[in-house]
């Protein structure tokens, strides 16, 4: 039986001095990175050395979080493994073989597969849980400005710049306390939302060219194949948030992106976003994934681009139909 920890119990465990590996999810975003590096600041203050790992590299622009440290995993005799912002073992990607070793998970995903003792709190970002942990430990005033930069980055990224439905009065109260620490919040937001590499812009242009519409325009989809990536000199990191591009089309209720894996051509990484009250995490669960009500992911196994497309369109068009029926009857 997997145990859920209270914040007190989590704080007690974090106090134990142990050489720690902190694990981020694949395609690391500012929330998993910010949570990991903020947790590393906490551990450093408490006398534990920690490294951070992910199966994918962090984007260069997130150096203000990672301080340029590589996320590459190396076996190093770690005494403790902590996963942050990781909804299921599959979210560890190529590092999922470490799932059995994980001692603690700190997360905020409602739809999830727990694989170790965990602390969870369904706030907008995992970063908020790291703040609560520091608060419980009574060390908020001792942590460096880097800690607050990390937390703000996680909160802002997971709330789309404090615009998504997951924002609560508590989110804003906490953001206010973090801004009061003197962080450069405008610069963090510029880096997260307004700064794209030329390759990311290329990926976005391709997305607008190649997107497909289904369900009378209620479902949008972009499939990124390895061939498309090679022909255009685009890497996996460059196509990170293309789902938001297909999501912005007027009339779209659910937006999807499928990215073919460079390592295994039968694997497609699925991202889903909802513009209405449709639980896309249910759709992702069909493929063994998870996430939030309006933002979720999974890995789809298919022999071809067409097969992957048919599989996701079938599942998500069903969710859209159910939603439309609900509106008619409701
Ligand atoms: Mn998150």
Same domain, 162 and 208: no
Mean of pLDDT values over 118-139: 97
CATH number of the domain at 177, please: 3.90.1640.10
Residues 251-284: pLDDT tens digits?
999 999 999 999 899 999 999 999 999 999 999 9
Q: Residue 233: pLDDT above 80?
A: yes
Q: Indicate if 188 and 234 belong to the same structural domain.
A: no
- Same domain for 100 and 123, yes or no, is yes
Mark whether 11 and 118 lie in a shared domain.
Answer: yes
Q: What's phi and psi for 50, nearest 5 deg?
A: -140, 145
| pLDDT classification of 237: cutoffs 50, 70, 90 | confident
Q: What is the DSSP-derived secondary structure letter of residue 262?
A: S
Q: pLDDT value at position 236?
A: 82
Distance (Å) from CA 64 to ligand 1 centroid: 18
Name the residue among 10, 238, 248, 218 with its Cα closest to residue 126: 10
- Please indicate, yes or no, if residue 66 is contained in any of the structural domains: yes
Q: DSSP label at 87?
A: -
84 part of a folded domain = yes
Confidence tier at 169 by pLDDT (50, 70, 90): very high
Residues 262 and 164 in one domain: no
210, 150: one domain: no
233 in the same domain as 203: yes
Going from the Cα of 330 to the center of ligand 1, the distance in angstroms, rounded, reads: 32
Between the CA of 42 and the centroid of ligand 1 the distance, in Å, is 19
| Final residue of a structural domain among 194, 213, 248 | 194
Q: What percent of the chain has pLDDT over 70?
A: 100
Residues 312 and 256 sit within 8 Å (Cβ to Cβ): yes
> How many angstroms separate the alpha carbon of residue 35 from the centre of ligand 1?
9
Strands (E), the chain: 20-23, 50-53, 80-84, 104-107, 117-120, 212-214, 219-224, 254-260, 267-274, 290-291, 295-301
How many domains in the chain? 2
pLDDT digits (tens, 9 = 90+) for 88-125: 998 999 999 999 999 999 999 988 889 999 999 999 99
In a domain, 92, yes or no: yes
2 domain-assigned: no
Asked whether residue 41 is domain-assigned, the answer is yes
pLDDT for residue 24 is more than 80: yes
For residue 145, being part of any structural domain is answered with yes
Q: State the number of CA atoms in the 13 A half-sphere of 124 facing the CB.
A: 25
Q: Are 221 and 186 in contact (CB under 8 A)?
A: no
35 within a domain of the structure (yes/no): yes
120 alpha carbon – ligand 1 mean position (Å): 12
Whether residues 206 and 245 fall in one domain: yes
Cα 94 from chain centroid (whole Å): 16
Is the pLDDT reported for residue 134 higher than 90?
yes
Structure tokens of 37? 């590096």
CA of 249 to the centre of ligand 1 (A): 24
Q: What is the CATH number of the domain that holds 295?
A: 3.10.310.30
Q: Which of 136, 165, 194 is the last residue of a domain?
A: 194
**Domain boundary residue among 165, 194, 223?**
194
Q: How far is CA 64 from CA 147, 185, 320, in A?
A: 11, 12, 40
Distance from residue 36's CA to the centre of ligand 1 (Å): 11
Cα(156) to centroid of ligand 1, in Å?
10
Asked if 30 and 141 sit in the same domain, the reply is: yes
From the list 188, 95, 198, the residue with the least C-alpha distance to 146 is 188
Other Cβ atoms within 10 Å of 56 Cβ, number: 19
Give residue 253 CA to ligand 1 midpoint distance, Å.
22
Could you please report the per-residue DSSP string of 28-66?
--HHHHHHHHHHHHHHHHTT--EEEE-SSPPPGGGHHHH
Distance from Cα 191 to the centre of ligand 1, integer Å:
18
Distance from the CA of 107 to the center of ligand 1, in angstroms?
Answer: 8
What is the per-residue pLDDT across 178-230, written as a single tens digit (0 to 9) for each? 999 999 999 999 999 999 989 999 999 999 999 999 999 999 999 999 999 99
Query: 49 near 77, Cβ under 8 Å?
Result: no
Note the pLDDT of residue 112: 86
* 13/151 same-domain check: yes
Considering the domain architecture, whether residues 86 and 223 belong to the same structural domain is answered as no
Is the domain of 179 the same as that of 259?
no
Q: Tell me, in angstroms, the distance from the centre of ligand 1 to residue 266's CA.
A: 26
Q: Give the model's pLDDT for residue 210.
A: 96
pLDDT at 330 over 80: no
Instruction: Quote the ligand 1 centre to 24 CA distance (angstroms).
Output: 10
Structural domain including 37 reads: 7-194
- Compute the average pLDDT of residues 233-247: 89
DSSP bridge partners of 83? 23, 105
pLDDT at residue 1, rounded to an integer: 82
- Rounded to 5 degrees, φ, ψ at 196 are -130, 145
Residue 70 has pLDDT above 90, yes or no: yes
Give buried/exposed letters for 20-41 (b at 16+ CB in 10 A, else e).
bbbbbbbbbbbbbbbbbbbbbb
What length is written for the chain? 330
CA 292 – CA 270 distance, rounded (Å): 14
How many Cβ atoms sit within 10 Å of the Cβ of residue 276? 13
Residue 1 forms part of a structural domain:
no
């Amino acid at each position: 039986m997997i145990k859920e920890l209270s914040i007190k119990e989590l704080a007690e465990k974090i106090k134990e001095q142990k050489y720690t590996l902190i694990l981020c999810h694949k395609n690391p975003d500012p929330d998993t990175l910010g949570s990991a590096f903020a947790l590393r600041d906490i551990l450093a203050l408490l006398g534990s050395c920690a490294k951070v790992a992910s199966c994918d590299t962090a984007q260069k622009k997130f150096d203000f979080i990672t301080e340029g440290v590589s996320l590459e995993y190396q076996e190093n005799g770690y005494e403790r493994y902590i996963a942050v912002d990781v909804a299921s073992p599959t979210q560890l990607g190529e590092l999922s073989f470490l799932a059995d070793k994980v001692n603690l998970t700190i997360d905020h995903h409602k739809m999830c597969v727990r694989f170790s003792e965990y602390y969870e709190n369904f706030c907008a970002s995992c970063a908020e849980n790291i703040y609560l942990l520091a608060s419980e430990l009574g060390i908020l005033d001792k942590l460096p400005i880097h800690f607050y930069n990390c937390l703000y980055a996680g909160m802002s990224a997971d709330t789309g710049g404090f615009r998504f439905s997951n924002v609560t009065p508590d989110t804003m109260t906490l953001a206010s306390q973090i801004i009061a620490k003197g962080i450069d919040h405008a610069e963090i937001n510029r880096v997260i939302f307004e700064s794209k590499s030329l390759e990311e812009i290329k990926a976005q242009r391709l997305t607008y060219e190649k997107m497909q519409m289904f369900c009378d325009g209620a479902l949008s989809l972009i499939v990124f194949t390895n061939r498309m990536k090679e022909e255009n000199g685009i890497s996996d990191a460059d196509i990170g948030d293309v789902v938001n591009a297909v999501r912005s089309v007027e009339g779209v209720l659910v937006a999807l992106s499928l990215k073919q894996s460079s390592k295994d051509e039968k694997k497609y990484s699925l991202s889903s976003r909802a513009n209405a009250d449709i639980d896309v995490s249910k759709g992702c669960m069909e493929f063994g994934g998870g996430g939030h009500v309006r933002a979720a992911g999974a890995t789809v196994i298919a022999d071809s681009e067409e097969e992957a497309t048919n599989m996701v369109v079938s599942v998500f068009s069903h969710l859209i139909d159910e939603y439309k029926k609900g509106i008619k009857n409701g």
